[in-house]
Amino acid sequence: MKSYRIGVLKGDGIGPEIVQANMRILKAALSQFQESFVEYVECPIGFEAIHSHQDPVPASTIEELKKCHGWILGPHDSASYPEILTERRNPSGELRHTFDLFANIRPSQSLPGVQGLVQNVNLVIFRENTEGFYPDRNMYHGVGEWMITPEVAISTGVFTKKAITRIAHAAFQSAMERRRKVTIVHKANVIKLGSGLFLRTCQEVAKAYPHVTVEDLHIDAMAAHLVRRAGDFDVIVTENMFGDILSDEASMITGSLGMLPSASLSSTGLHLYEPIHGSAPDIAGQNVANPLATILSAASLLRTSFALEEEAAAIEEAVEAVLASGKRTKDLSAKEGTYQITEDITHAVVDALKQRVKTIV
Ligand code: ATP
């Protein structure tokens, strides 16, 4: 019998609601296909951990995560943490730094029955995850921002050939399995050294993949192109902050921020799966959050960390079936009052999953 240990980090805001949904789907998927022993290891993070350990990412959580085969993370609301913690890396930054989660992979695609701004989208963003313009994770020690006077702040961007080389290889390798096109997104015309190094290094890596078509675009132009012709892109590779912004845009183009899963891959083989969206404090506790991004992150975990392709595909097909049937959470519903609550949409995905398994087992 196979045995899996999954770390579960609920996070803040809507985190507990959607991670709960994710666990229901994982349990349903893992129990349908084969006998397996699954242990869900819940570790405190965010506000829960501040209350229990006075620390948003306690050392005990890090130690437990090291013993798991993969983790599901809910979003966090670090902007609301007590003032004393603002000097610290936020939970995402801390996990990315500690576990060297260097490649944040964010797919975006058109889904059946969901009216997107652009049709036929099927792209994936490879976001460098350990440095770039996010100063909470680009230093070995401390945070790369300084307040020189109350009216002067300095924020650093960090770009290293090593980090750019490995995200570029990850992107090109993925392109080889897809439509063989990579778009390098940068701002080398203005940020000549940092973004210039990013562009040049990606172009050097590209030489090892002669069958992949390569183009490069400035981040501002890319933001505009995505709205008009997102369907033309296959793999996009970019630095940390540009990738974060572009993936929010890509999610809205195909439907909603509540739909996009992500995987953060590490050099250690221990990977993290989470939705791309934040903790949405404005709708927390109302049972209206869209759980599909987190549910699709479960599929990504099963495929990437456990090589359970059938189970992963069954989850994705169940999500598609639910959307095709017209069921919607509030963020996707065109008409006021005609939406399903989080629990109901989760239930519908579990039903569709069981239905799907009946036809293939
Ligand atoms: P962060 O910087 O942590 O990523 P953010 O500032 O980008 O967070 P979000 O928390 O992602 O902001 O929320 C942005 C908007 O999207 C809010 O109006 C929120 O309600 C909505 N939203 C985010 N996630 C979901 C979801 N799963 N379901 C429904 N609405 C969502």
pLDDT tens profile 32-84: 777 778 899 999 999 999 999 999 999 999 999 999 999 999 999 999 999 88
360 inside domain:
yes
152, 247: one domain: yes
Higher pLDDT, 137 or 265: 265
Last residue of a domain, one of 218, 235, 253: 253
**259 C-alpha to ligand 1 centroid (Å):** 11
pLDDT tens profile 224-244: 999 999 999 999 999 999 999
Mean pLDDT of the chain: 93
pLDDT tens profile 265-286: 998 889 999 999 999 999 999 9
pLDDT at 237: 98
Q: Catalytic annotation on 134?
A: yes
pLDDT tens profile 78-91: 999 998 887 778 89
- Please name the residues in contact with 61: beta carbons below 8 A apart, sequence gap of 6 or more: 9, 43, 44, 45, 49
Under the banding of pLDDT at 50, 70 and 90, the label for residue 113 is confident
Q: Name the least confident of 81-90, 292-301, 317-326.
A: 81-90
Pairwise CA distance, residues 38 & 70, whole Å = 12
Among the listed residues 81, 134, 209, 339, the single catalytic one is: 134
CB of 277 closer than 6 angstroms to any ligand 1 atom: yes
pLDDT above 60 for 291 = yes
110 inside domain:
no
CB of 258 closer than 6 angstroms to any ligand 1 atom: yes
The domain that holds 178 is classified in CATH as 3.40.718.10
107 inside domain:
no
222, 282: one domain: no
pLDDT above 80 for 110 = yes
Q: Catalytic annotation on 187?
A: yes
**196 C-alpha to ligand 1 centroid (Å):** 32
218, 272: one domain: no
Under the banding of pLDDT at 50, 70 and 90, the label for residue 306 is very high
pLDDT at 36: 76
192, 248: one domain: yes
Residue percentage of the chain with pLDDT more than 90? 78
CB of 331 closer than 6 angstroms to any ligand 1 atom: yes
CB of 74 closer than 6 angstroms to any ligand 1 atom: no
The residue whose CA is least distant from atom 7 of ligand 1 is 278
Under 8 Å between Cβ of 123 and 254: no
pLDDT at 281: 96
How many domains, in total, are found in the chain?
Answer: 2
Query: Closest ligand 1 atom, CA of 294?
Result: 27
CB of 257 closer than 6 angstroms to any ligand 1 atom: yes
245, 225: one domain: yes
Among the listed residues 10, 187, 327, 330, the single catalytic one is: 187
1 inside domain:
yes
149, 247: one domain: yes
pLDDT above 60 for 92 = yes
Q: What is the mean pLDDT of residues 291-307?
A: 95
Last residue of a domain, one of 195, 223, 253: 253
85 inside domain:
yes
pLDDT above 70 for 360 = no
pLDDT at 77: 94
- Please name the residues in contact with 82: beta carbons below 8 A apart, sequence gap of 6 or more: 50
pLDDT tens profile 188-234: 999 999 999 999 999 999 999 999 999 999 999 999 999 999 999 99
**What's the domain range around 143?**
117-253
pLDDT at 356: 78
CB of 177 closer than 6 angstroms to any ligand 1 atom: no
Q: Catalytic annotation on 330?
A: no
**16 C-alpha to ligand 1 centroid (Å):** 14
Token pair of 142 as six digits: 């401390």
The residue whose CA is least distant from atom 21 of ligand 1 is 280
Last residue of a domain, one of 198, 218, 253: 253
152 inside domain:
yes
Query: Closest ligand 1 atom, CA of 248?
Result: 7
- In terms of Cα–Cα distance, which of 311, 275, 212 is closest to 9? 275
Q: Choose one of 257, 259, 286, 330 to mutate for the ligand 1 pocket test, by most ligand atoms within 8 angstroms of C-beta.
A: 257
136, 207: one domain: yes
Query: Closest ligand 1 atom, CA of 79?
Result: 3
220, 308: one domain: no
Q: Catalytic annotation on 351?
A: no
Please, what's the b/e burial string for 87-104 (b: 16 or more CB within 10 A of its CB; e: otherwise)?
Answer: ebbbbbbbbbbebbbbbb
Residue 56 region by backbone torsions, left for phi larger than 0, else alpha for psi between -120 and 50, else beta: alpha
pLDDT at 303: 94
Query: Closest ligand 1 atom, CA of 283?
Result: 20
